[in-house]
Amino acid sequence: MKSIHVLNGPNLNLLGQREPDVYGRETLADVEARLSAAAQAAGADLLFRQSNHEGDLVDWIQEAGRAGAGVILNAGAYTHSSIALRDAIVGAQAQVIEVHVSNVHAREDFRHVSMIAPVARGIVAGFGTLSYDLALQGLLALRAGK
């Protein structure tokens, strides 16, 4: 069975409450329920996590890499600043799809740079929480050799 880790960074626990005009009203629990059902239908195990702490994300990326699991990563603000996450992806040889709920390129200039993008397999941004679903479809296709 395929294993997929969905890792969420800082402030994503506030999804549905924080700036709903930017991020929508769906909660992270809503996203988890939808992705869990989709993963199960595809024959994949899904591990869904969120932390406001960079070190947790580093540990989880390394864990996923060691296990050969695919990773859907919404690193939140760490996307734009964390060399540690980038190094964890490279060091663990994790297959990562970077996800953003908003279109980061239509926002503040500092959000236009990603430390993760150069080492990610793909990026999905700007489709609201549907970005997670699209990333799951893409990751499952990549893992199936498509």
Q: Which residues are catalytic?
A: 23, 100
Give, for 49, the enclosing helix (H) or strand (E).
Answer: strand 44-50
Under 8 Å between Cβ of 129 and 12: no
The Cα–Cα gap between 37 and 55 comes to 29
CA distance 100 to 146: 23
Question: CB-hemisphere CA count at 13 Å for 4?
Answer: 28
Q: How far apart are CA 113 and CA 73, in angstroms?
A: 16
CA quadruple 57, 121, 90, 86: dihedral sign:
negative
